[in-house]
Structure 1
Amino acid sequence: MIIVKTKRLHISKIVLKDAAFFLQLMNTPGFLKYIGDRNIKTIADAKAYLKSGLLKSYKVHGFGYYKLTLKEEPDRPIGIVGILKRDVLEHPDVGFALLPEYERLGYSYEASIEILKLAKDRFSLKKITAITNPDNDKSIKLLEKLGLKLEQRTDPFNEGKDLLLFGKVL
């Protein structure tokens, strides 16, 4: 189900049939380096991850991560963008990830702008945050371009690893 369309993208709810795409995305070098290894090694792992996390978020919070496809290729996912409410953070956070061949083409920015509008207008969120690795320059630049400001260093997952927490009042 398409949630919103942009000039170049369709932003849709994720479904279990997207498990093969998630297996691919979550094992890209950038995902593993900056987001982390979620130990998704099979389609079955990806389906379990979707059921217990991303699909559950739609039911519990009304929002979550969404699949990005190009308008010209609506059956071929290129990435994800969305909002999660994590227990370890006070406010919901925005996130994004693309397959490597679609990075640096403006798709994350284009999709994130629409997700921030949804956060405010449809989900009535008052503030949005984001967390990222301090060495993830691409993510930091995008968050700043979206109007999020660095608020603090934090270790929300108690892994002994500082992350940068950005925030924006909507």
Structure 2
Amino acid sequence: MIQTERLYLRIIQEEDASFLYQLMNTSKWHQHIGDRKIQSEADAIQYMQDRMHPDLKVKGFVNHVMIEKASGASVGTCSLHNREGVVGMDVGYALLPQFEGNGYAAEGAKAMVNHAFNVYDQSKIHAITNEENTGSCRLLEKLGFVQQGYADLPHLSEHIRLYSLERKADSK
């Protein structure tokens, strides 16, 4: 488990199916990440089994649920990926609408980037976002990411903004 000042980040589990179903059916998820056809909690469990949990076994990392320490509420997800179309690890995040604007995405992403640098010994971390997701672009730039151009993901026809953040020499 990863901890920040206000959050716990723990590996997503099947008990999170209701939360994941809710998150993956928000308008922003559909707009910026895509409709994954999650129509029920059972679909959410199947998605975890098919798409998330294999990454843990093969790559050693997987999606994490961000949990607000004060309330115990699941506020969003933050994760590391090693996806086709992006060279090296990238960080991703999503929040339930009622928790947006509280700095949780930045706090979780910063913790996950540090985890990638310190646990997985990465020298550079990437992030991707679509052109319309100006909030995510601002957040990445606030964290020190710099746009490096565009990435082409195999399942998308649009170009996706590609950001990178290099580990500072003294951050080991």
Same fold (TM over 0.5): yes
Task: Specify the SS of the correspondent of 2:52.
Answer: helix
In the aligned structure 1, how far is the partner of 2:154 from the partner of 2:135?
22
Report whether the alignment pairs 1:106 with 2:103: yes
1:97 aligns with 2:119: no
Q: Does 1:42 align with 2:45?
A: no
CA offset digits 1:18-42 (Å, max 9, x no partner): 1111110000011111111011111
Give TM-score, length-normalised by structure 2. 0.92
TM-score by length of 1: 0.93
Q: Is the 8 A contact 2:85 2:152 kept in 1?
A: no
- Cα deviation, 1:50-81, whole Å, max 9, x if unaligned, reads 0112222111111122101111222x311001
Cα distance in 2 for partners of 1:59, 1:47 equals: 17
Matching of residues 26-105 of structure 1 within 5 Å: 26-74=24-72, 76-105=73-102
2:119 pairs, out of 122, 128, 134, with: 122
Is 2:67–2:74's contact at 8 Å kept on the other side of the alignment? yes
Q: CA deviation at 1:99?
A: 0.1
Distance verdict in 2 for CA 1:164–1:61, change over 3 Å: same
- Contact 1:62/1:123 (8 A) holds in 2: no
Gaps of 5+ in 1: none
Question: In 1, distance between residues paired with 2:163 and 2:2?
Answer: 25
Deviations 1:104-160 (A, max 9, x none): 110111111111110011111222111111111110001111111111123222532
1:84 Cα offset (Å): 0.8
Bigger strand share: 1
2:128 match: 131
Give the secondary structure class of the aligned counterpart of 2:37: coil
Query: For residue 14 of structure 1, what is the aligned residue in structure 2?
Result: 12
Closer/same/farther in 2, CA of residues 17 and 151 from structure 1, 3 Å limit: same
Divergent runs of 4+, >6 A: none
1:73 alignment partner, SS class: coil
**How many Å separate the matches in 1 of 2:58 and 2:164?**
23
User: Percent identity over the alignment?
Assistant: 34
1:146 matched residue in structure 2: 143
* Aligned length, in residue pairs: 167
CA RMSD of aligned residues (A): 1.2
Q: Is the 8 A contact 2:85 2:151 kept in 1?
A: no
